[in-house]
Structure 1
């Protein structure tokens, strides 16, 4: 299917897939950064780097939350774009 023949639902679903992939990686990065933070918090504090890392963790968490919200919103849009089903008698469901 070429880009010209994609429906709005196709575009929403493609975007949803990309956002879900970003969410997956974002979660993994937050977990990795947190693990590093826990291992080196004392050393980072001594080097006066703890605050900078904490800020990155906060920003990464905010990105994850924003991705969650956008995914939920686009999933609602995708549902609204689903074609209306008809039965054999032509009744719309």
Structure 2
């Protein structure tokens, strides 16, 4: 007999797909080489320097009018602007 849990575990949501008003925590950073003009290691380093570290609370405050890009994100009490393609590397829960 197989027992199913009473809840479903949601997959981690890339911050780049989250809507305005989203509030969550950083799970991890997973940069793909095709996500920007910088090498993956450099992009990951820059995101960490901006405060996108595991467990940090993140909130999307604003999004641009055209294509919803860029987004304004509150992280560790600071407001940071990111392109959605950069925010795709930030996995949240």
User: Taking structure 1 as the reference length, what is the TM-score of the superposition?
Assistant: 0.21
Larger Rg: 1
- Is the strand fraction higher in 1 or 2? 2
Higher-helix-fraction structure = 1
TM-score, with structure 2 as normaliser? 0.21
